[in-house]
Structures are given as C-alpha cells and as structure tokens.
Structure 1
Amino acid sequence: MELKEIRIAASPYSEGSGNNGTQQVEEAPVPAAETPPARTHTVKSGDTLSKIAKSYYGNASLFPKIFDANRDKLSDADQIRTGQVLVIP
C-alpha cells in the first residue's frame, strides 16, 4: 500500500504535537465496481412473466425487464416453458 503525506492545519489544542503539521496516512484501496450476481428463476407450471415480475419486483408490469434480459431464450413474452431458467436482472 502507498503512504501519502497529508498536511493538517495546526490546532490550538495540539501544542507540542511534534509532527510539524504532517501525518502519514495509509490510503485504503478503492474496490472496483462489481456487477451484482444475476438471480435466476426456474419456470414452474402456471408461471407467467408477469407473475415472476410480481414476485421479484412487487410489480407485474415490470415483466419487460425479465423478457429483455432473456431475449436469447425467449422470442415471445407469452411463450415461456416449464423448466426454463430465466435471468432476473
């Protein structure tokens, strides 16, 4: 880890601190932005994209988010099959 020198203004309460207004501070590494892990849903009998959206998002009208995330598997939002594994963004 790299150490950086940072100047700190003298405080009237820090008489005789002996650090000449400098302090060594260890800089914490900044984590890289991570993509959250994708959730999946295995389609069960009776499922629709609207029902799945309602269960994950609390709003059935958000089903297009699921459809768009699964365009590689779905050509029609009304044609999902039992056993399909869908990505839930």
Structure 2
Amino acid sequence: MGLFDFLKKGEQKPVEQPKTGAAKDSTGGFFNQGAAGQPAAGATAGMDTYTVKSGDSLSKIAKNFYGDAQQWKKIHEANKDQISNPDLIQPGWVLKIPKA
C-alpha cells in the first residue's frame, strides 16, 4: 500500500465514455460534441454541431465535415444568427453543421 492508496477515500468507479457515432477530428476530439465532450444541445436530424476551437475557420471545419473547404458557405448560412463576419469566429461557439 502506497501513500496515494492511503489517501484515496471511497470507491472509485471508471468514467463512462459517451457512446456516439461522431467522427473523430485530427486532434483526437470528436465532432458533433459540445463542451466537456458531451453531445451539443440543439442537434437535430438534419444537423450536426461543432464547438469552435482556437485556430478553426469555417473553411477548415467544412473540409473536416464535407471534404471540401469551399462548402464553408453552408455552415455560414446555417449560423447567420451568430456569425456576422465569416472570417471572425470565436472559440467556444457551438455551430450547427448541415448534413451533406
């Protein structure tokens, strides 16, 4: 028994990972998930959601979802309520991503 075992209190249970069919991005994160790795609220049958990370752009997100950076306009159209300038998106924003 080590020092840390002595300090542990209570029963430890493994953390259950969310079971989603979301696609992984290049950083190992999941698309279609909001903050804290949970599925983002507001996802509908015809839409996925994506939480913007530092360094993201609409064209980069479109490339990941659609395989074509030129499809950024679809994402912009679906999020006109929060994106006034498509060149200025902010980390933490949860964007609606129309399904291809």
TM range (shorter): 0.5 to 0.7
Structure of greater Rg: 1
TM-score by length of structure 2 reads 0.53
Cα RMSD of the aligned pairs, angstroms, is 1.2
Gaps (5+ residues) in structure 2? 1-43
SS in structure 1 of the partner of residue 81 of structure 2: coil
Identity of aligned residues (%): 55
User: Which residue is equivalent to 2:73?
Assistant: 64
Ranges in structure 1 where 5+ consecutive residues have no aligned partner: 1-34
Higher strand share: 1
Structure with the higher fraction of residues in helix conformation: 2
Shift of 1:38: 1.9
Aligned length: 55
Quick one: distance in 1 between partners of 2:64 and 2:47? 16
Partner of 1:82 in structure 2?
91
Structure 1 CA distance, aligned partners of 2:95 and 2:68? 17
Which contiguous aligned blocks of 4+ residues in structure 1 show a shift greater than 4 angstroms? none
